């Protein structure tokens, strides 16, 4: 019997949540780094306010999709800013949402191709 959680119940994600998770995919970041990365990844279309960002971070911490990193590297000095990273479940949620969006794009491309005569 498969005991994996049904991730389809967690998606679709809001755009802000998707971009926060996506920004953490390469590795840990602090809040300001997440804000900058989200703006970069969205080509400047999505600019998170501090309230939206930290509200999202709080929610993602509660869901267990991200976690705080106290000392990301051995021997690194403690940081004043908190670092956040994806958890395994957060990475799985991001993957499930990405696959869902890829299916939507594929469907749209097939339909658009059929309409072009």
Q: In the chain, count of helices (H) and strands (E)?
A: 4, 3
Residue 46 has pLDDT above 90, yes or no: yes
* Cα separation, 61 vs 13, whole angstroms: 15
Q: What is the pLDDT of residues 53-90, one digit of tens each?
A: 999 999 999 999 999 997 655 556 665 678 999 999 99
Among 79, 78, 68, 81, CA closest to 24 = 68
Q: What is the pLDDT of residue 80?
A: 61
DSSP code, position 21: H
Beta strands in 16-108 (DSSP E): 29-30, 66-69, 83-86
Q: How would you list the strands of the sheet with 29-30, edge to edge?
A: 29-30, 83-86, 66-69
CATH topology of domain 11-115: Arc Repressor Mutant, subunit A (1.10.10)
Q: What pLDDT was estimated at residue 10?
A: 86
């Amino acid at each position: 019997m498969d005991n994996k959680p049904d991730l389809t119940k967690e998606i679709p994600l809001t755009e802000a949540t998707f971009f926060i998770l996506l920004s953490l995919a390469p590795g840990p970041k602090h809040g300001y780094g997440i804000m900058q990365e989200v703006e970069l990844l969205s080509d400047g279309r999505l600019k998170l306010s501090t309230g939206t960002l930290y509200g999202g971070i709080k929610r993602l911490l509660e869901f267990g999709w991200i976690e705080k990193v106290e000392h990301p590297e051995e021997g690194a000095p403690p940081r004043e800013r908190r670092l956040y990273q994806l958890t395994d479940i957060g990475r799985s949620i991001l993957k499930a949402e990405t696959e869902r969006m890829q299916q939507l794009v594929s469907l749209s491309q097939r339909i658009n191709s059929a309409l072009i005569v």
